[in-house]
Structure 1
Amino acid sequence: PLTSEQINAEIGAAIQAHTGKAVDLSRPDLTVFIELLYNEAFVYFEKIPGPGGLPVGVSGKVVSLLSGGIDSPVAAYHMLKRGCDVLFVHFHGTPFTTPASQRKAIKLVQVLTRYQASPRLYLVPFGEIQRQIMLATPAPYRVILYRRLMGRIAEEIARREGAQALVTGESLGQVASQTLENLAVIEEAVTMPILRPLIGMDKQEIVDRAQAIGTYELSILPGEDCCRLFVPSHPATRATLAEVQRIEARLDMDDLVRWGVQGAEEVTTTEERGERGEGRKGVRFLTQL
């Protein structure tokens, strides 16, 4: 058997004899790549970069909050890229909104299926919970209260699924709820780590990535989601934990969490095979927690 250096020398000499070209290791006109296996060899002339990352599942399981907008699918993709098994949770405004956001969430998960073998999605009815918050709390704090409650519900689902962290699509300063002060108050509601892979990205960077992974066109489709339901005109941008906890005391938060978790429907997106073998995406409703 020959060493790699000996193989390089022999093949290089053969190419030089055939083409009459001189060897130039600094600025070659053409680089020939060769992968040698036991009984065969692969010869190629170009390396095409892939997405990189780690095999899905090697970094543990996480729960990604999927809003249906541009950001959260990109955040989920980043965690898939880093080897996480991602389970999705979508909060919808039923009974005060149409099912449009649920359909969009299912389609987004189906797009992300190409990066994960068995994607799963929980659909959580959140409209009545939001109404309870709206009736009992001052308007500027409602978005923060919604986010804290979403975190608690998602965390309970994560615990039941054996997940180790939550994932959100928040980007620092992008909207009122994403200031440092508000993010700290929201995060205090849960004990699991909240991973925010987009935290330092600007909107155009996120849009570019959404277009690259194929979620952008779905994300910009119209659809009523709970993020726009009962939202105040002037939300608080620098909430304090003491003030938010004082307001939360007006609500039975444990009961609202149970309400959300018990209403969660699990959906699995499947790829069925037709008579000709072509792939067809399907949706299967499985169970309630």
Structure 2
Amino acid sequence: MSETVQRTTETVREGAGFPGFRRGILVRMGGEIYTKSSKTRRRFLRALVDNIKLALRESGLEATVRPEWSRVRVYAEDLRRTREALGRVFGVYSVAEVVEVPYASLEDLVAKVAPMFREHVAGRTFAVRARRRRAPFTSQDVGRELGAALLPFSAGVNLDEPEAEVRLEVGRERAFVILEESRGPGGFPAGTGGRALALFSGGFDSPVAAWQVMRRGIRVDLVIYDLGGCGQVGQALAVARELALRWAPGLEMRANVVDLAPVVSALVRRVDPRLRQILLKRAMYRAGSILAEELGFEALVTGESLGQVSTQTLRNLAVAEEAASVPVLRPLVGSDKQEIIETARKIGTHDVSALVKEHCSIATGPVETWADPEEVLTAESGLDQDVDESWLRRTVANRRVIRLKSWDPTAEESPDYVVDRVPEGAVVVDIREPGEGEPVGDLRLPFSRAMESLDRLDRSREYLLVCASGRRSELLAREMLGRGYRAYSLEGGVDRLAGAVSA
């Protein structure tokens, strides 16, 4: 919003006021909507109105919403908060706080509007900016007559660089005097473009990519992969929550946390370092596709940008995408890092994304930049004994689903079997895979082979399970409890063990 428009609001409100005139909000739709067929445009308008009502309801605002063919009028008590809420609804091109002025003639309109702006133009150069919508006279007529009425109170007319502006939209029987106007996100209303699942790490790229497709009318849920020692799940969830609160007003957005730490371990143990990152990406695509199909979503969304890192060459992207069974959307494919960071600032995710640590690389040297598809498939086939298709489906089925807007990491209650200390006399079981670090505790029982080994454990003992982050140990402890064992999971994973003295 320009400084001139800000001054319009301040001086007009401090001046004569608006006795007898109704104030409200004028919402204009994104320009692309006007190019659609009548049937599609009606569908988009219905979706926009529904989303406006949901956004207002979530903000606790009572309002009357009146749709028209090319805009929506909203009347509410708290106009400032209403305008802020509507400025985050996709499909909204602009939001203006207005005064509604009914009139019988051009002379009547000028007589009613001119007193509102006398103090605003006093001692300043000014310009009248009028838009016409089926009015019985032209916008030039309005500018000429209203300008003439205000000229004696001003320092003159300056159409190029005025110190003050008088802005209004004139319809057939009423005009809307614009006090303050701000841009909305534009695009298409949420829900008009289908649904997609965004692969989400929380860094700068993934929230911007999700926002870009949301702006095209796509409803988005997220999948966050827990990669064990490489994962930053809590930080990614914090970014996801910020995205949901800012850009899904009135709508639900969920995050699905899927444990792929065993995949990371299997890659480290069994795969040439050159290919590990590519195979990890293929596993992410495969798991994401399984989840998207289960949820009935049409596509995956990623924050990949062509050539940004070694796994994002054209060949590597093509090889990775072969593992997906649904389309993969890459809205940032032609963007550079600076453009992405600037967009992150614009949409409000930059500061929380800046706190997210980059996922660690599981390659110990150069990464293949032009992968051979046959070599990749051969390497992938060697993982099937640990993380085959059935394993992926199980880990997707065991995912953690989080309603982002109500998620509060400080208020989450852990199950009784999740503890922060070593129970006295408990056998400490390290369930990490061999490639995840030196063994700790009393027993090493890799998670990938734990299910078939549980019955060999002494049922008279208590067990404390430890993994990289606490996610796998929680799942296995729950399984053991169901089988009649006394088992616990150490909250926070192996890094917590050194300070977890016996209770």
TM-score (norm 2): 0.49
Task: Give, in angstroms, the shift of residue 262 of structure 1.
Answer: 2.5
**Structure 1 residue 215 and structure 2 residue 349: aligned?**
yes
Cα distance in 2 between the residues matched to 1:80 and 1:34: 31
What residue number does 2:374 align with? 242
CA distance in structure 2 between the partners assigned to 1:202 and 1:234 by the alignment: 22
Q: What SS does structure 1 have at the residue aligned with 2:217?
A: coil
Aligned to 1:89: 223
Alignment deviations for residues 124-155 of structure 1 (CA, whole Å, 9 cap, x no partner): 11111211222222111111110001001011
| Displacement after TM superposition at 1:170 (Å) | 0.6
Q: Is 2:294 aligned against 1:183?
A: no
Taking the aligned partners of 1:219 and 1:118, their CA distance within structure 2 comes to 21
* 1:136 counterpart = 2:270: yes
> Which structure has more RCO (C-alpha within 8 Å, separation ≥ 6)?
1
Once the 2 structures are TM-superposed, how far is the Cα of residue 102 of structure 1 from its aligned partner? 1.6
Identity among equivalent positions (%) equals 33
Among 125, 134, 146, which residue is 2:280 paired with? Answer: 146
Q: Distance in 2 between matches of 1:58 and 1:232?
A: 45
AA aligned opposite 2:362: F
CA distance, structure 2, for counterparts of residue 23 and residue 215 of structure 1: 42
For 1:257 and 1:281, how far apart are their aligned partners in 2? Answer: 27
Structure 2 match to 1:261: 396
Which ranges in structure 2 are unaligned for 5 or more consecutive residues? 1-103, 106-133, 414-474, 476-503
Q: CA deviation at 1:50?
A: 2.7
Equivalent residues in 2 for 1:225-236 (5 A)? 227-228=359-360, 230-236=362-368
Kindly provide the amino acid, as one letter, of the partner of residue 401 in structure 2: E
- Alignment partners' CA distance in 2, 1:17 and 1:72: 54
Classify 1:189/1:50 alpha carbon distance in 2 versus 1 (closer, same or farther; 3 Å): same
Q: Which moved more, 1:29-38 or 1:134-143?
A: 29-38
Question: Structure 1, residues 200-243: CA drift from partner, whole Å, max 9, x if none?
Answer: 111111111112212122222154x6x31533322111102111
Amino acid at match of 1:261: V
- In structure 2, the CA distance between the partners of 1:268 and 1:13, relative to structure 1 (3 Å rule), is same
The range that moved more, 46-55 or 123-132, is 46-55
Is the CA contact 2:200–2:223 (under 8 Å) kept in the aligned structure 1? yes
CA distance, structure 2, for counterparts of residue 13 and residue 199 of structure 1: 52
TM-score (norm 1): 0.83
How many Å separate the matches in 1 of 2:356 and 2:160?
52
Q: Give the letter for the 2:405 counterpart.
A: T
Ranges in structure 1 where 5+ consecutive residues have no aligned partner? 273-279
Deviates more, 1:193-202 or 1:127-136: 127-136
Residue 18 of structure 1 and its aligned partner are, at CA, apart by: 3.1
Cα drift, residue 12 of structure 1: 4.1
Name the counterpart of 2:145: 13
Alignment partner, residue 276 of structure 1: none
Output one character per residue of 1:7-35: Cα deviation in whole Å (capped at 9) or x when no partner.
Answer: 743574144123248888x7473653324
Shift of 1:39: 8.6
Q: Is residue 142–residue 231 contact of structure 1 (8 Å, CA) maintained in 2?
A: yes
The yes-or-no answer on 1:105 pairing with 2:236 is: yes
How do 1:5-84 residues align onto structure 2 when only pairs under 5 Å count? 5-6=136-137, 8=139, 9=141, 12-20=144-152, 27=160, 29=162, 32-35=166-169, 41-44=175-178, 47-84=181-218
Aligned residue pairs total 273
Of residues 141-150 and 32-41 in structure 1, the stretch that sits farther from structure 2 once superposed is 32-41
Match of 2:405 among 266, 270, 281: 270
Q: 1:51 to 1:137 in 2, by over 3 A?
A: same
Separation in structure 1 between the aligned mates of residue 342 and residue 151 of structure 2, nearest angstrom: 43
| C-alpha deviation, 1:271, in angstroms | 4.7
Alignment-mate amino acid for residue 201 of structure 2:
S
Partner of 1:234: helix, strand, or coil?
Answer: coil
Secondary structure, counterpart of 2:208 in structure 1 = helix
Task: State the partner residue of 2:434.
Answer: none
Q: Which runs of 4+ in 1 moved over 4 A?
A: 20-24, 36-41, 280-285
Who wins on radius of gyration, i.e. which is larger?
2
Alignment correspondent of 2:296? 162
Q: Report the residue type matching 1:44 in the other structure.
A: I
C-alpha separation in 1, matches of 2:409 and 2:265: 35
Question: How far 1:107 moved relative to its partner?
Answer: 1.2
Q: Cα RMSD over matched residues?
A: 3.0
Q: Give CA deviations for 1:34-69 in whole Å, capped at 9, x if unaligned.
A: 245799643126653332211111111010000121
Q: What is the CA-CA distance between 1:193 and the residue it aligns to? A: 1.1
